[in-house]
Structure 1
Amino acid sequence: MRIIVPLVFAAFATAGMAWADTASTTAPPAAPFAQVSKLVALPDFIPGLGTLYVDPASLPAGPFLAYDHDGKLSATVYMVPLDDLKNGSGFNDLPLGEDRVTSVDIYYNAGHPGVEKPHAHVVLYHDAGARDRLAQ
């Protein structure tokens, strides 16, 4: 796992910032984004991640746009399959939902509907209160 974390950071260090100008700061974002809970069997609001939207063509990594209960864009989430990283695949130039990032969490997920393989969640919070708003 020590090798994977630096690889994840390297993959996101070059994330494209220009897309942030076109992402919606309020839900719902425009097409091609779709609410994840309408695509797969997941709740509308996932505690810790919020209400997620994704462009299905960007799966599995995303970005997933994470909105709080009030529809405010609070985080950009990537779901990076560990096997892909282990096998040398990179995820480069991934866009951000918003170019302001105040903190980042990275944690393991064994898999869930939509991204079934074990993967790392990389959560980029866009303001100081975002983590708390998404937790509830």
Structure 2
Amino acid sequence: MIKSLLTGASIFAASVTLAAAHDTEALMQSPPGDPYVQVSDVLPLPAFIPGLGTLFVDPATLPAGPFLAYDHDGQLSATVYMTPLAELENGTSYDGLTVGSHTVATVDIYYNAGHPGVEVPHAHVVLYHDAEAKERLAQ
């Protein structure tokens, strides 16, 4: 499984550098607008998930995302990807993933056993967009 996560992280890192350009300024404050929907409006999840914040996603990009993560003040704090481990193990690559902001202070990658929206075991790849973002999303 560690090998799968490392492979996924390598694929992810390559795709971020090739991410398509988009209007990141429009995404800096919640709500981000079309085509994004608030995850808690379409899935049985809380509006604010401690550790991830208030999530928005373009349904066409599921399961990987990006999920845009906003803090309690509506500031974009992280971009989150949810990549199913079985798909990574079977050779699926997620290329050209967009980012909410091109500024990334730190990245966390961790295992999730599944939840509404991405029910299968998957890796969360979280790009925090400033040094305080992780702390703001934890509360």
Query: What band does the TM-score fall into relative to the shorter chain?
Result: over 0.9
- Identical pairs, percent: 60
Structure 2 unaligned segments of length 5 or more: list them.
none
Per-residue CA distance 1:93-117 (angstroms, 9 max, x = gap)? 1000000000000110000000001
Q: Does residue 30 in structure 1 map to residue 33 in structure 2?
A: yes
Moved over 4 A (4+): none
Structure 1 stretches of 5 or more lacking a match? none
In the alignment, which residue of structure 2 is the partner of 1:8? 8
Q: Is the 8 A contact 1:20 1:99 kept in 2?
A: no
**Distance in 1, Cα, partners of 2:33 & 2:106:** 26
Separation in structure 1 between the aligned mates of residue 56 and residue 117 of structure 2, nearest angstrom: 12
Which residue matches 1:114?
117
Deviations 1:41-63 (CA, angstroms, capped at 9, x unpaired): 00000000000000001000000
Task: List per-residue Cα deviations over 1:74-126 (Å, max 9, x = no partner).
Answer: 00000000000000110111000000000000110000000001000000000
- With structure 1 as the length reference, what TM-score do the two structures score? 0.95
Further displaced range: 11-20 or 99-108: 11-20
Would you say the 8 A contact 1:17–1:99 is kept in 2?
Answer: no
Pairing 1:4-83 to 2, within 5 Å after superposition: 4-13=4-13, 14-15=15-16, 16=19, 18-19=21-22, 21=24, 23-83=26-86
Q: Which amino acid aligns with 2:89?
A: K
Aligned length: 136
Give the TM-score, by structure 2 length. 0.93
Q: Secondary structure, in 3 states, of the residue corresponding to 2:22? A: helix
Q: RMSD over aligned Cα, in angstroms?
A: 1.2
Q: Which residue of 2 aligns with 1:104?
A: 107
